[in-house]
Structure 1
Amino acid sequence: MDRRPAAIYDAENRWGRDDDFFLAAVDETPAARVLDLGCGTGRLTLALAAAGHTVTGVDPHRAALDAARAKPGADRVTWIEGTAEVLPEAAYDVAVLTSHVAQEIRAEDGWRRTLADLRRALVPGGRLVFDSRDPAARRWERWTPHDSRRRVALPDGTAVEAWTELTEVRDGLVSFVHHYLLPDGDELRSPGTLRFRTEAELRADLATAHFTVERIHGGWGREPVGASDDGELVVIARAAD
């Protein structure tokens, strides 16, 4: 992620209903010690700090953290380059994984280790809040050049033509490529693969990691699973004592 992809990412991923949800969920614990795991360029991280929480943003990508550190209010946040393995013990009241970061952890053993690390990093009774797309909604079927074509306006006034190309669906893994056509004719490509886990799988993994699931919503309006076009599994769990 050099400066151009970081700028495109921020322009394409502006504040949305998901951010409203996560901010409201964290605010249920006033003045919380918050972990934002997979914080990226810090959109929500900075808002959590501005709301009065003590926030730590963790991400394995240095370029993303560099972009986050350059934003106003970044000095209120503790930024750490790394993964859940670097987290201290019993240091946080709330942990969030947003923008489907949970699905970026594709290997099942890596996902289980991440949940174990999160349980270790949370105080007893601390909350874990994250989103994962519901595989039953089959949202990847919309990831075609025709259905996904969009225009991304950058801060300098230029625009980028973007679209997503689905490349493979197999064994719970969905692979794709984001295409970005720049005004100068250059094309940037950002490939990715996401793990889609069912509600039952998420519940089982959380139980194994000693979390108690409080609620799983199907959308950002707190709808039941399957009742929203958002096609989400929004999980709120609590670390067992």
Structure 2
Amino acid sequence: MEQAEFRDPRLVSVYDAEYGWSRIDEFFLAVANETPRVRVLDLGCGSGRLALALAAAGHQVTGLDPAAASLAAARAKPNADAVTWVEGTASSLRQGMFDLALMTRHVAQFFVDEDEWATTLRDLHRALVPGARLVFDSRDPRSRAWDRWNPEDSRSIVELPDRTEVDLFTEVTDVDGSVVSFATHYRFDDGTHLTSTAALRFRTEDELRDSLAAAGFSIRAVYGGWERQPIGAAAGELLVVAER
């Protein structure tokens, strides 16, 4: 199944267990906290870890995601009623709804089609008030992260809340220019083997800047790591802070 880690309830629980709170979340929370009590859009909120932390910090949070299974997991978490959960895409957003929009965990790269990416940026521009920020992460293609997506380097064991273990690994299935396709395999204790497929587009810094400018954004900063290091830092990231 395509992007099954977000759409299959069993794999959503694996994703939740695999990706706990980290410096990635700390970065985005710190960005939000630069302004008290802002209206925040978490686009591609998944199972809601960051959205719930933003709400706990006093922000008015909307978690938007097209995956019903991920949103069901988010709604089942403690204090979930502090967040407005919406199943859908940025096309449903009204004008001037937010002071800050976030796309975390490389959500921006899932917009493989350039027209879809451009449309999403325009939708976000419409949904933000003047002076609002759009902040997101995208892997720097120069770091070639996909070279490490193989059964040897990517294998891990994830323990679920019920103490069962899942053996998983990722393998690249195709590299077509800046688009990398891959499959992640999940083997459960009971013998079940599930596979999730996906593709990501690796945009350069210049491509990100150009697409944002075309949508009406200006760039405030681009960092190379979660501690706001310069581009080219070992983290291999492009952390973009743009302004409407």
Q: TM-score per shorter chain, which class? A: over 0.9
Residue in 2 aligned with 1:233?
A: 238
Report the CA distance between 1:125 and its aligned residue: 0.2
Cα distance in 1, alignment partners of residues 113 and 176 from structure 2: 14
Report the CA distance between 1:2 and its aligned residue: 3.3
Q: How does 1:179-190 map to 2 (within 5 A)?
A: 179-190=185-196
Cα distance in 2, alignment partners of residues 224 and 178 from structure 1: 31
TM-score by length of 2: 0.96
Unaligned runs of 5+ residues in structure 1 are none
Cα distance in 2, alignment partners of residues 2 and 134 from structure 1: 29
Cα distance in 1, alignment partners of residues 127 and 81 from structure 2: 23
Q: How does 1:7-22 map to 2 (within 5 A)?
A: 7-22=13-28
Residue in 1 aligned with 2:34?
A: 28
Cα distance in 1, alignment partners of residues 118 and 207 from structure 2: 11
Contact 2:9 2:70 in 1 (8 A): no
Deviations 1:202-230 (A, max 9, x none): 00011111111010001101111102x22
TM-score by length of 1: 0.97
Q: How does 1:126-141 map to 2 (within 5 A)?
A: 126-141=132-147
Cα distance in 2, alignment partners of residues 222 and 234 from structure 1: 8
Cα distance in 1, alignment partners of residues 12 and 173 from structure 2: 23
Cα distance in 2, alignment partners of residues 238 and 73 from structure 1: 31
Identity %: 58
Cα distance in 2, alignment partners of residues 178 and 85 from structure 1: 29
Equivalent position to 1:49, from 45, 55, 66? 55
Equivalent position to 2:228, from 217, 222, 225? 222
Find out whether 1:110 has 2:116 as its counterpart.
Answer: yes
Unaligned runs of 5+ residues in structure 2 are 1-6
User: May I ask how many residue pairs the two structures share in their alignment?
Assistant: 238
